[in-house]
Amino acid sequence: MSLPFPASPYLSGNFAPILMECDAHDLPVTGVLPRALHGTLYRNGPNPQFAPRDPYYHWFIGDGMVHAFHIEDGRVRYRNRWVRTNKFKRERAAGRALFGSWGNPATTDASVAGEENGVANTNIVWHAGRLLALEEADLPVELDAGNLSTRGDCTFGGKLSGAMTAHPKTDPVTGEMVFFAYAADGRFTPGIRYGVVNGEGRLTRLEHFEAPFSSMIHDFMVTSRHVLFPVLPLTGSMARATRGEPAYSWEPQLGAHIGIMPHHGDAAQIRWFRGEACYVFHVMNAWEDGSRILADVMQYDAPPLFNPNASGPGSRARLCRWTFDLDAGTDTFQRTWLDDMPGEFPRIDDRFATLPYRHGYFASRQQEEALPGSYDTLVHLDLGTGRRSVHALPQGDAISEPVFVPRTPDGPEGDGWLLATVFRGNEQRSDLVVYEAGDISRGPIAAAHLSHRVPFGFHGNWRPAQ
């Protein structure tokens, strides 16, 4: 018999899981959906099917559930499915949780000791004809793009045997998907793996190197010629986990270390740059300007989700530009704040990933009392003019990461729409909303209405109609 979920901030409200899979063939729509908007928005996030075994539950460890909104001819079709990982199938058969948080052996049932415990709950990407559900500690899981059934782990023809990041970058010029993995030699180890999958879906490169220490490296930066690995002092420790303490802890005395490797070089060519402690979950974009590399990131002074002492402005991310001059003869880098509005989940027009860009979008939180992961404002920054546009949601509502969809494949940067899910707090359900990307302050131009909630999740992406 399944047990009730315990009282926990990240198991309550719209963080609480929904316990069903369903299909809706024609959602009610208000406003007018553009006829040119034809494809599917996929979103992924944690949705535990059973109450956790550990007293310390973290939002990042719930079973992955994918939500798909297919848009065609002004109509919207919806489907949601859990990703059938090994963990999900073993626990579904047992009728209860079996695996401990972060693979903690002290709280894992002996019947599944040493088994794969990935949750595939963080991102979902479309590349070279594959739909991949991702999280950063395990293999990608391939799904059927239509019915969301799980096809199984993706090893790229047996060439990948370990984890792959939840934040691969696709080069818009070459079509290559560039990825990395931290803790590449086992949980909480300092090893890092770097890889490239070409535009046809073949794994063509794998590199391995050691970071200065074991760090949670959620995202990284890719330009047309370089790859940047931010090793920041949010450290992992199996010893802490087995003592019943949080596996990840903030150790600012270790400082920030940024490894820069030529895109087509090897680990022996990595240069390490150093700076004061900070943390970054997500990168907006990175590009080259002569000998300089510029990277726009959402920077925290200290990470709120893993640091109980984090409070005040420094515990909320703001957009910051990191500048590295490869010819300056120094191992330091410059930081410049670009905007003072707090936010997370930065996105761009992905046709300009790795290249100079102008338009950026992110979710912001104006309510101080809201938990990290809950956002009530959509923000557009025009970095060419410095102009900021916002759309604040009604009290009690919350918006997801915005996803940009171009109006035409070869249109100018920023000409298109932003798609997001919005939790309607007063109605306890969710909508899919569509904004004109260049005019978000007017609010959504259309909304498709669900009769249930889409729990707060992480990332999504658009797959245009084939």
pLDDT at residue 26, rounded to an integer:
97
Task: Show binding-site residues.
Answer: 167, 218, 282, 459
Instruction: Indicate the annotated binding residues for Fe cation.
Output: 167, 218, 282, 459
Q: Which two three-digit tokens encode residue 249? A: 């802890």
Check residue 165 and give its pLDDT: 93
What's residue 102's pLDDT?
77
Cα-to-chain-centroid distance, residue 446: 25
Q: What is the pLDDT of residue 2?
A: 77
- Whether 198 and 205 have beta carbons less than 8 Å apart is answered as no
What's the confidence (pLDDT) of residue 309? 60
What is residue 406's three-state secondary structure?
strand
Question: Coil, strand or helix: which one is 78?
Answer: strand
Sign of CA dihedral 109, 112, 115, 119: negative
pLDDT of res. 328 = 95
Residue closest to 179 by CA, chosen among 158, 152, 160: 160
Q: Strand pairing partners for 449?
A: 431
- Residue 280 forms beta bridges with which residues? 299
pLDDT tens per residue, the chain (466 residues)?
678 899 889 999 999 999 999 999 999 999 999 999 999 999 999 999 999 998 778 899 999 999 999 999 999 999 999 999 999 999 999 999 999 987 788 899 999 999 999 999 999 999 999 999 999 989 999 999 999 999 999 999 999 998 999 999 999 999 999 999 999 998 889 999 999 999 999 999 999 999 999 999 999 999 999 999 999 999 988 888 778 777 889 999 999 999 999 998 899 999 999 999 999 999 999 999 999 999 999 999 998 877 666 555 557 899 999 999 999 999 999 999 999 999 999 999 999 999 999 999 999 998 766 677 899 999 999 999 999 999 999 999 999 999 999 999 999 999 999 999 999 999 999 999 999 999 999 999 999 999 999 999 999 999 999 7
CA dist., res. 232 & res. 34, Å (int): 42
Q: How far apart are CA 114 and CA 108, in angstroms?
A: 9
The set of residues, in sequence order, having a beta carbon less than 8 Å from that of 93 and lying 6+ positions away, is none
Query: pTM score, two decimals?
Result: 0.95
CA distance 308 to 248: 12
Q: Quickly list DSSP for 126-176.
A: EETTEEEEE-TTS--EEE-TTT--EEEE--TTTT--S---S--EE-TTT--
Q: Give the per-residue pLDDT at 239.
A: 84
**Cα–Cα distance list, 111 to 88, 104, 152, 235, 458 (Å):** 14, 14, 22, 29, 31
Lookup: tokens for 353: 């990933």
Output the pLDDT for position 312. 57
- Pair of tokens at residue 106: 């002290």
